[in-house]
Amino acid sequence: MQELIKSLKVDANGLIPAIAQDATTGEVLMVAWMNAESLARTLETGEAVYWSRSRNKLWRKGEESGNVQKVKEIRADCDKDVLLLKVAQVGGAACHTGYRSCFSWVLKDGAWVEDGVKVFDPKDKYRK
């Protein structure tokens, strides 16, 4: 594991961005961050574990919503400074807004317009 993380270019905080992509449809679902520990936990469990920069702790994706990500494949880019996780998105939605993908805003005439598939209502999913 130490060898693996050493093979990657992490930032000053030991973090590397990770793109989650639907393994079946190719849809880009979200971007989060990983450190050595989250990568190790992801490999151990087969489910995506990220590092939450806002909460400063490990974040098993879906730990609250149930929308975990089963990791099918992990890729790295030529510079080894970005990871790409191909995942099966349990529950059909990656985004806390209830959209299937976090990338549910499209640029139209200079403004961001909501444009995504809504899978759940956040009010039904998260505790206060």
Among residue numbers 21 through 50, which ones bind its own copies (CB under 8 A)? 21, 25-28, 30-31
Sole binder of its own copies in the list 10, 87, 102, 119 (CB under 8 A): 102
Rg (CA), the chain: 15
CA distance 35 to 50: 7
Q: Is 80 in the site for its own copies (CB under 8 A)?
A: yes
Q: How far is CA 122 from CA 71, 72, 83, 85, 97, in A?
A: 24, 27, 28, 24, 6
**Footprint on this chain of its own copies (rule: CB under 8 A):** 1, 3-4, 7, 17, 19, 21, 25-28, 30-31, 73-80, 82, 84, 95-97, 99, 102-107, 110-112, 115
